[in-house]
Amino acid sequence: MSDPPILHIEDLYKSYQDSEIIKGISFVVQEKEVVVIIGPSGTGKSTLLRCINLLTRPDKGKIWLEDQEITAPHTNVDKIRQRIGMVFQDFNLFNHMTALQNVTIGMTRVLKMKSTEARDKGMWELERVGLSEKAHQYPAQLSGGQKQRVAIARALGMNPHIMLFDEPTSALDPELIGEVLGVMQKLAEEGMTMLVVTHEMGFAREVSDRIIFMENGYIVEQGPPKKMFYNPELERTRNFLWKITELYGKQEEKEQ
């Protein structure tokens, strides 16, 4: 194999106090791959993402980002996080900054870009998520969907090698979900490597290259969307996918 995968996770464990959240997870994400993680709430999906960009330290196991083992002691955590874009469920835009400033602050303060250069790149990133006309608005003046798109632009501004999405549409009103998924789909088509935790089965089916089904801290089953949706190996996978498609599908119908 010539190039190492973008992300390689090996036998990861994480507990909080007495409860074990992640119980030995291993998988690999290749360059330009879009991997969707699904599973019931409280099964460690968000914890897994936080372990990957070291917002939480895993207890055991190893994570490689490209050819660097990031779980090794004495790694430069800030440098590693620059290569990993993170999009949160509740956006977490910097409230005291305009959309543009949200996107440029990392470029100027972390990547040490010149402010004029950062401004240009910032506008370009906002353009990419279709929000250049909102550049000078504050988060409080934006809708949820717009906030999340700015948050995506902020992450993209750091030129990440992989983007992590932690239920990016779960805090959104149903009518705003589409615009965020649209941006994510566009990113996928542009070749961004993405790891997405979501309940949006439409996105999983249409956009992803692979679906990982997680439950109780384990990976239950993984495979390409076609197989997972229409011909899963396990009854449990079939049940979950059927249930969640039913649930969210009904919601979609109601909106129409």
Partner 1 sequence: MEFLQNLLLLFRYLIAGTWVTLGVTAIALSTGFGVGILLATFRVYGGAMLRTIAALYSLVIRAVPVIVVIFILYFVIARFVDLSPFLSGSLALGIASGAYQSEVFRGAILSVPPGQMLAARAIGMSRVKAIRYIILPQALRLSIPPWSNEAAIVLKDSSLVYVIGVAEILRRAEYVSARTLQPFIAFGAAALIYFSLTFLTNRALDWLEQRYRVLM
Dihedral sign for Cα atoms in the order 110, 156, 91, 104: positive
Write the interaction track for partner 1 spanning residues 203-232; mark x where CB under 8 A is met and - where it is not.
Answer: ------------------------------
* Among 105, 123, 171, 244, contact with partner 1 (rule: CB under 8 A): 105
Looking at the Cβ atoms of 48 and 84, the one nearer to partner 1 is: 84
Neighbours of 121 (CB within 10 A): 18
Looking at the Cβ atoms of 87 and 211, the one nearer to partner 1 is: 87
Q: Does 93 bind partner 1 (CB under 8 A)?
A: yes
Q: Does 90 bind partner 1 (CB under 8 A)?
A: yes
Looking at the Cβ atoms of 33 and 166, the one nearer to partner 1 is: 166
Closest approach, Cβ 238 to partner 1, in A, equals 35
Q: Report which residue type is found at 51.
A: C
Tokens of 173: 């009103």
Looking at the Cβ atoms of 187 and 241, the one nearer to partner 1 is: 187
* Among 74, 140, 190, 256, contact with partner 1 (rule: CB under 8 A): 140
Q: Does 1 bind partner 1 (CB under 8 A)?
A: no
Select from 35-43, 80-88, 128-136, 212-220 the region that touches partner 1 (CB under 8 A): 80-88
Residue carrying structure tokens 């992300």: 7
Q: Does 155 bind partner 1 (CB under 8 A)?
A: yes
Going by their DSSP bridges, the two strands 60-65 and 7-16 should be labelled as: antiparallel
Select from 19-27, 93-101, 178-186, 200-208 the region that touches partner 1 (CB under 8 A): 93-101
* Among 39, 44, 58, 106, contact with partner 1 (rule: CB under 8 A): 106
Helix H, strand E, coil C: the string for the chain is CCCCCCEEEEEEEEEECCEEEEEEEEEEECCCCEEEEECCCCCCHHHHHHHHCCCCCCCEEEEEECCEECCCCCCCHHHHHHCEEEECCCCCCCCCCCHHHHHHHHHHHCCCCCHHHHHHHHHHHHHHCCCHHHCCCCHHHCCHHHHHHHHHHHHHCCCCCEEEEECCCCCCCHHHHHHHHHHHHHHHHCCCCEEEECCCHHHHHHHCCEEEEEECCEEEEEECHHHHHHCCCCHHHHHHHHHHHHHHHHHHHHHC
Q: Residues 20 to 39: which contact partner 1 by CB under 8 A?
A: none
Q: Does 171 bind partner 1 (CB under 8 A)?
A: no
Looking at the Cβ atoms of 119 and 210, the one nearer to partner 1 is: 119
Q: Does 114 bind partner 1 (CB under 8 A)?
A: no
Q: Which residues bind partner 1 (CB under 8 A)?
A: 53, 55, 78-79, 81-82, 84, 86, 88, 90-96, 105-106, 109-110, 138-140, 151, 154-155, 157-158
